[in-house]
Amino acid sequence: MKRAILKTLFCALLAAFSATAVQAADYHVTTAAELTAALNSAAASVEDDAIYLAAGTYNGNFKYNAVNSGGVSINAELGLNAEQVIVDAGGDAYALWLNGSNYYPSSSFKNITFQNGAGSEGLVSLVSGVTTLDGCIFKNSSNNGLSINSNGVVKIINSSSSNINLIGINVKSPNIIIKKNYSKSQFSRHVFTSYRRFN
């Protein structure tokens, strides 16, 4: 009898723990307000959350300031390309700023355009985990299109910049992996510091 009671109590505790266990979250956003809320939630998470953007333009100066170790991926919804999903700074500061230097989260971005940064970049990343950019476009910024300062790995896949006042893609990292058949002219306004591999 005593053993049955203990077994029942153990099962109840296990069920309660499982119900309250933290799980990674997926956020599907359609507005700037929803994007802001999703970034704030992901920044506080200990898990690797994902944010999916519907087609449209998201106007504002968005920020992800990690206060925990969870990473974040920010992607266009499946089937969309970067020309259909735009994060627009509106000529005022940055489009998206990520700060995670104290917690080393990883971050990734897929099929998104970052544009119209003024006095700053379209996308600024100070995240020291693995940073991956795939199919992204950086354009129409008065400073740099993209700036990354990382102690981790930075992967740039099929991403490009245009109509940038200073540097299109500016990356400082001990390990930079670039995957695309870039022409020499496309590299003329990009700066890669301390990269080890070129694919």
Query: What local confidence, expressed as pLDDT, does residue 77 receive?
Result: 98
Query: What ranges do the domains of the chain cover?
Result: 25-198
Is residue 107 a contact partner of residue 125, using CB atoms and an 8 Å limit?
yes
Highest mean pLDDT among 26-30, 71-75, 136-140, 188-192: 26-30
Give the E-state strand segments of the chain in sequence order. 26-29, 49-53, 56-59, 62-65, 72-76, 85-88, 96-99, 107-110, 113-115, 123-126, 131-134, 137-139, 146-149, 153-157, 160-162, 169-172, 175-179, 190-193, 197-198
- pTM of this prediction? 0.80
Statement: residue 187 has pLDDT above 50: no
Query: What local confidence, expressed as pLDDT, does residue 22 receive?
Result: 58
Statement: residue 10 has pLDDT above 60: no
Statement: residue 11 has pLDDT above 70: no
